[in-house]
Structure 1
């Protein structure tokens, strides 16, 4: 489903992608910082920039293939279901940090950033592919806007999310909405759902967004 360029739907989808990129990039920002931690100061910034550039290229390739795969019957619905536990997990309290071995060479740091980002970015790829509605231009624009923010201000983003938890809730709600939207736009499952209940095009995403926030809040209180 291509989105008309510069329409209101285009900007809503772009906003969703940027928020998802920022909210889901917390772990990736930690990876970038830890991987280059042992390098001399003059090499550290260069390793971060080169590694991030490589990670963006890999992420774009992964997202491009994910966008293509989502046109296969049932896969888009499956991708939507996969996003729901990811969204709930986003609202759970953090228990420790991911351990990333710091590299001692420029090439080692760049390689670690690219490989770790690719391994940890699968949830991002599925979410962004779904939120883009199959429009790869939205994916590219979203990454071009959000990645420099993540690289230059990862610590600021982390502090903002701690100070304003509503940002994380907003990201989780968008993930839940995206998951529901992916299900109702699946070429097979979506047709069956919309034939039975046309209003499900908006009802299901809204219900899943609310359910994600409710379950996430409940698990957060228990944690």
Structure 2
């Protein structure tokens, strides 16, 4: 019985971590696939999440080596800031959304963003698993349907309320700022100056949303001018 509990409790902990941290992943999936036709949207969601989970498992198993790379979290945060801006401005009105390039682009965005956002998740899961690789894999596999259904709910909400696109981009920008703040090399700055941490998070959110809105507004006006 004690052996079962030693397996079940860490497993439930890992599943809980994946569920809690899976919200950002669902947002990325929804934003990346929102411009795809509905008949191919599910394929992109399943393929993107499936490949992302494989990448996440590999990342978790190699966590000891990968997470020792200097400035890894900061670089990941900067990349996620770009991804959040890219997803916000990728309106898709003038693109051939039925082309394979766009499907592959959506899948590629999902995988890259999941790996980038996976650093915090890797730390939490690796600690909860206590070196048990089976626990890590089972926990991540259980999180798959949660992210799939979560992304579909968000996609449905986006179709009714497009403003959610900006909210989602803001959440991703906040996540990116947190990654930069958690960079060990920057610890002396952020740990001793909480105000700087708060301002960075606010700046990241405002910058992504404001720049995204201006970019979309300019693109829309430019398009209408040509017409």
Contact 1:176 1:212 in 2 (8 A): yes
RMSD: 4.1
Q: Are residue 21 (structure 1) and residue 21 (structure 2) matched?
A: no
Structure 2 CA distance for partners of 1:158 and 1:148, relative to 1, 3 Å: closer
Give the TM-score taking structure 1 as reference length: 0.62
C-alpha deviations, 1:139-164, integer Å up to 9, x for none? 836544112444xx4xx643421322
Distance in 2 of aligned mates of 1:218 and 1:71? 38
Q: What's 1:172 paired with?
A: 169
- From 65, 68, 77, the counterpart of 1:80: 77
Q: Which runs of 4+ in 1 moved over 6 A?
A: none
Contact 1:14 1:142 in 2 (8 A): yes
C-alpha deviations, 1:81-127, integer Å up to 9, x for none? 111111111221422226328xxxxxxxxxx99xx846751123212
Contact 2:170 2:205 in 1 (8 A): yes
Contact 1:66 1:125 in 2 (8 A): no
Structure 2 CA distance for partners of 1:167 and 1:66, relative to 1, 3 Å: farther
Report how far residue 66 of structure 1 moved. 8.0
Give the TM-score taking structure 2 as reference length: 0.61
Matches within 5 A, 1:24-103: 24-26=28-30, 27=32, 30=36, 34=40, 54-55=50-51, 57-64=53-60, 69-95=66-92, 96=95, 97=97, 99-100=99-100
Q: Give unpaired runs (5+ residues) of structure 1.
A: 38-47, 102-111
Alignment length, in residue pairs?
A: 186
Contact 2:77 2:176 in 1 (8 A): yes
